[in-house]
Amino acid sequence: TINNMGAGRDILAIVWIYLACVSTSFSATTESDSFDYTTTNSTDWIEDLTDIESKFSLRTAETPDDDLCYIVPGQPETIRECDFNTDTKTFIVIHGWTVTGMFESWVRKLVSALYEREPTANVIVVDWLWRAQQHYPTSAAYTKLVGRDVAKFVNWMQDEINYPWEKIHLLGYSLGAHVAGIAGLLTKNKVQRITGLDPAGPTFEYADAQSTLSPDDANFVDVLHTNTRGSPDRSIGIQRPVGHVDIYPNGGTFQPGCDLQKTMKMIVSTGFSNMDQIVKCSHERSIHLFIDSLVNGEKQSMAYRCNSKDTFDKGVCLSCRKNRCNKLGYEINKVRTRRSTKMYLKTREIMPFKVFHYQVKVHFFSKDLLNFTEQPIRVSLYGTHGEKEDLAYVMPVMNSNTTVSFLLTTDVDIGDVLMVKMIWDKDSLFSWSDWWKSSTFHIRQLRIKAGETQARVFFRPKEAEFAYLKRGGDQVVFVKSKEDQSSRKQERLHKLKMHGSFFKQKNDMD
């Protein structure tokens, strides 16, 4: 254990040095833009293949971690030599800034996952490692040249073998997302899709659309934001939306399982080998969420349109009407709106990341005026497939005669909810107010809306007209309401039946 602790301390030091480097280089000013080409009118440059420095490796399902065959723009024989499949889709994977100058372990994982989902596809990995291991602002400025390289490559493939644009999907991580955007902007025809995996924030947050990933760069641009903590332009991931659909898992700021304590535990147990993942846990989570969508299709995560993280946390955004919800990752519905659509969801801390979302809506009655803040409650949900007990939630406010709405999630599928239990915990601090202040709310009804099934179900106290939720008291039990099983769907069904019989009668008479 002494060894482990020593290693832990060393690594902690490395983590801090790393973070310090990151933040100092992030705050440095951008280098002057010496790579500007968007102001020239000529498109001749795209035919000039002599100055391409990036390399394009066609990886295989058998050897996802090694570059065995490069497709070289200007050398058409390399397309054949690498066994490029001209009939199937092509994924072009673009890495980001690197400290080590080597491919990080996620590259192999993403390549494998893409082949697992699309075995006949071509997965090409762009190697711009040399330009990506410079001082951050230098590498950030290089995204323009690398984007140009990728545009030339894609353009040449199209000229050479008539490869269709709609079969090209660019996937870029961090700085690589902006490379993909610039490439998409410069190609003669629009590529089908760009997926931005936590696009880099520093020097890009306030940059124009020509320099960053933007909705104009492909027919469809989807973006995952997973590490946007901190003030704008200092957060590792870009905070503003840059695609058609921008998804902010867990609010987009920071991901579950990525806190320092967990990090230290992981270092002690797995050592240096996963260093890159540990340090950039939240940033890299964007990639693992996408991988999850490729390999765990039966556990598809859903995201919901919402204005903000805080509104989402109130549970009020779980609607699927008019494209308000969408699938995260590979199977996303390609909904294009004029303005970016911001979407939110919660996830687990490990793969598969899917959770089930529930909005709980409840009205608190009381005769006397009660006014509480920050109250700990626990809710247990019992469903047709399973149950989840003691989901903790801190009620921001609990006032007399007000309705509250909040979000709960379960990592297991409990099916249709049949019963709900709720308990109001008393914080351990003794309070004089408990002596004179009554602290019981009356609840007549509770409504639960499930995001994943869109079912809205009403619950009533099991025995009486009211349930009495007492601070520090027993748990109260609610069961699916019988007379009020008229969730909207059933109401509609009922109406349909009535009309149906009416028309049937009429038809019979005819």
Ligand X SMILES: *[C@@H]1O[C@H](CO)[C@@H](O)[C@H](O)[C@H]1NC(C)=O
* Binding annotation for Ca(2+): 217
Quote the least distance from Cβ 372 to ligand X, whole Å.
8
Pick between residue 399 and residue 440 the one whose CB is nearest to ligand X: 399
Return d(Cα 223, Cα 328) in angstroms, integer.
10
Query: Nearest distance from residue 401's CB to ligand X, in Å?
Result: 4
Smallest CA-to-CA distance from 305 within 247, 229, 253, 357 is with 247
- Using CA of residue 351, residue 353, residue 356, residue 358, what is the dihedral sign? positive
Which helix (H) or strand (E) segment holds residue 410: the answer is: strand 402-410
* Binding segment toward ligand X, per CB under 6 A, in 16-24, 177-185, 213-221, 397-405: 397-405
Tokens describing residue 444: 């007549």
Residues between 282 and 301 with contacts to ligand X, criterion CB under 6 A = none
198 is catalytic: yes
Residues in the chain: 510
Q: What is the rounded radius of gyration, in angstroms, for the C-alpha atoms of the chain? A: 27
**Whose Cβ is closer to ligand X: residue 270's or residue 373's?**
373
- Interacting span for ligand X (CB under 6 A) from 7-15, 190-198, 220-228, 398-406: 398-406
How many amino acids of this chain bind ligand X (CB under 6 A)? 10
Cα 150 to Cα 27, 51, 94, 126, 209, distances in angstroms:
28, 12, 9, 8, 18
Q: Known catalytic residue: 283? A: yes
Q: Check binding of 70 to ligand X (CB under 6 A).
A: no
Least distance (Å) from ligand X to the CB of residue 473?
19
| Closer of 165 and 365 to ligand X (Cβ) | 365
Site membership for ligand X, residue 40 (CB under 6 A): yes
How far apart, in whole angstroms, are the C-alpha atoms of residue 3 and residue 8? 8
Is residue 69 exposed (0-12), middle (13-18) or buried (19+ Cβ within 10 Å)?
Answer: middle
In this complex, which beta carbon is closest to ligand X, that of residue 33 or of residue 259?
Answer: 33
Would you say 41 or 261 has its CB closer to ligand X? 41
Least Cβ distance, residue 378 to ligand X (angstroms)? 23
Going by the annotation, the residues of the binding site are 217
Given 198, 222, 246, 292, which residue is catalytic?
Answer: 198
Torsion of CA 303, 354, 360, 259, to 10 degrees: -100
- Asked if 399 touches ligand X (CB under 6 A), the answer is yes
User: Interface with ligand X includes 433 (CB under 6 A)?
Assistant: no
Q: Which of 169, 225, 244, 283 is catalytic?
A: 283
**What is the torsion angle, in degrees rounded to the nearest 10, for the CA atoms of residue 201, residue 203, residue 207 and residue 212?**
-60
Annotated active-site residue 174? The verdict is yes
In the DSSP assignment, the letter for residue 305 is: E
Q: Looking at beta carbons only, is 369 or 509 nearer to ligand X? A: 369
Contact string 342-381 vs ligand X (x = CB under 6 A):
-----------------------xxx-x-x----------
172-211 residues in contact with ligand X (CB under 6 A) are: none
Among 34, 41, 162, 507, binds ligand X (CB under 6 A): 41
Q: Give the shortest CB-27-to-ligand X separation in angstroms.
A: 34
Report whether 478 contacts 379 (CB < 8 A): no
Which is it for the CA torsion 181, 187, 188, 192, positive or negative?
negative
**Which of 54, 57, 139, 174 is an active site residue?**
174
User: Judged by CB under 6 A, which of 400, 405, 453, 481 binds ligand X?
Assistant: 400
Cβ atoms of 438 and 368 within 8 Å: the answer is: yes
Q: Quick count: other Cβ atoms within 10 Å of Cβ 41?
A: 5
Enumerate the active-site residues.
174, 198, 283
Residues near ligand X (CB under 6 A): 40-41, 365-367, 369, 371, 399-401
